[in-house]
C-alpha cells in the first residue's frame, strides 16, 4: 500500500471520495432502477453523516424526513424509518 501511495502521490480523502463517486455513479447509471439506487445511496450517506455528528437515531430520522422527503421515495424512507426506529 505504501508503494502504491508513493507512486500515486498519496491517497487523500478528496481523491478517495472522487474515486468512490465515479465508481458509484458508473454503477448507478447502468442499473435499470438507477433513480431508486441513487436515492438509497443518498439516504444512507445522509444517515451516516448525521450519525457521525453524534445525533441519535430519532434526530437522524427527523432530519432525513424533514430535509430529504421530497427527493427520496416514500418506500425507501419507510425502510430507513424501520432501521432507525427498530
Q: According to the model, what pLDDT value does residue 6 have?
A: 53
pLDDT tens-digit map of 11-47: 677 777 787 778 777 776 677 777 788 888 889 988 9
The helix/strand count (H/E) of the chain reads as 5, 0
The angle that helices 34-52 and 74-84 make with each other, rounded to 10 degrees, is 30
pTM of this structure? 0.62
d(CA 8, CA 4): 6
Q: Which of 42, 28, 50 is nearest to 72 (CA)?
A: 42
Amino acid at each position: 500500500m505504501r508503494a502504491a501511495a508513493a507512486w500515486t502521490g498519496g491517497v487523500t480523502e478528496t481523491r478517495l471520495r472522487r474515486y468512490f463517486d465515479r465508481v458509484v455513479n458508473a454503477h448507478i447509471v447502468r442499473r435499470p432502477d438507477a433513480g431508486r439506487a441513487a436515492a438509497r445511496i443518498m439516504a444512507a450517506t445522509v444517515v451516516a453523516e448525521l450519525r457521525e455528528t453524534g445525533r441519535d437515531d430519532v434526530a437522524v430520522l427527523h432530519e432525513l424526513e424533514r430535509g430529504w422527503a421530497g427527493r427520496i421515495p416514500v418506500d425507501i424512507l419507510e425502510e430507513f424509518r424501520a432501521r432507525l426506529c427498530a
